[in-house]
Amino acid sequence: MLQAPRIVRWTLPALLLTLLIGGYVIVATSGGENGKPGSSAPATTSTTKQRHKPKRVKVRSGDTVASIAKRSKLTVVRLLELNPNVDPRLLRPGQRLKITK
């Protein structure tokens, strides 16, 4: 009968110590806001869309809508959709055309 209390006397503190260390490790390694360890604040999410500048390509001498579309890996139709105010017959060197939204 003397053995059982001695085992409980050492097992319970060891178990509590293990739980405390495990809890600390989880909190310390979990990324909080901005990925900082130990931060328990929830990360905020933005509900507004981030606006990116559209990518553009510069018209070179001798370029056609087809050559610009091919160089930009677009179809002619898509290039003209992105640039509705551009007359494909009146391209000028130095003119900039959108290739992404």
pLDDT digits (tens, 9 = 90+) for 39-78: 555 566 666 667 788 999 999 999 999 999 999 999 999 9
Q: Is 48 helix (H, G, I), strand (E, B) or coil?
A: coil
From residue 22, alpha-carbon distances to 15, 26, 28 in Å are 11, 6, 10
Quick one: pLDDT band at residue 35, thresholds 50, 70, 90?
A: low
- Bridge partners of 97, per DSSP, are 57
Whether pLDDT at 38 is above 90: no
> Do 32 and 41 form a contact (C-beta atoms < 8 A)?
yes
pLDDT digits (tens, 9 = 90+) for 73-100: 999 999 999 999 999 999 999 999 999 9
The DSSP code for 93 is T
| Claim: this prediction has a pTM higher than 0.85 | no
> Residue 27 carries which side chain, given as an amino acid letter?
V
Closest CA to 68 of 36, 34, 52, 91: 91
